[in-house]
Amino acid sequence: DGGITQSPKYLFRKEGQNVTLSCEQNLNHDAMYWYRQDPGQGLRLIYYSQIVNDFQKGDIAEGYSVSREKKESFPLTVTSAQKNPTAFYLCASRVSAKNIQYFGAGTRLSVL
């Protein structure tokens, strides 16, 4: 089945801890995105990557880091510098020829 897989579905972070959210796609899409969703605020872009080994900051990149070592994978690390990490995180991907983003099922991150 082709699609975008985010794991885990639920994640808990302790104070001072870094955590990594996984996003894998088998759609052969070129671009990948990470969004943060908070109640009543819609989605805000954290980072995006158009090609392997290259990525750009979005509106709220502070306290987050990403890597794009493989076309299929775009993991997001929530660092201890992110003081308010509790949110729903969504990964998306897009094929270059089409102007449409497709989304994974999301990861809900909470702070212990």
Partner 1 sequence: AQSVTQPDIHITVSEGASLELRCNYSYGATPYLFWYVQSPGQGLQLLLKYFSGDTLVQGIKGFEAEFKRSQSSFNLRKPSVHWSDAAEYFCAVGDYNNNDMRFGAGTRLTVKP
- Binding region for partner 1 (CB under 8 A): 4, 6, 31, 33, 40-45, 48, 50, 56, 88, 90, 92, 94, 99-106, 108
| Integer Cα distance of 17 and 38 in angstroms | 21
Q: Which is nearer to partner 1, 18 or 28 (CB)?
A: 28
Q: Which is nearer to partner 1, 2 or 16 (CB)?
A: 2
Task: Kindly report whether the peptide bond that precedes residue 8 is cis, defined as omega within 30 degrees of 0.
Answer: yes
Shortest Cβ 7–partner 1 spacing (Å): 13
The count of C-alpha atoms lying within 13 angstroms of the C-alpha of 3, restricted to the half-sphere facing its C-beta, is 7
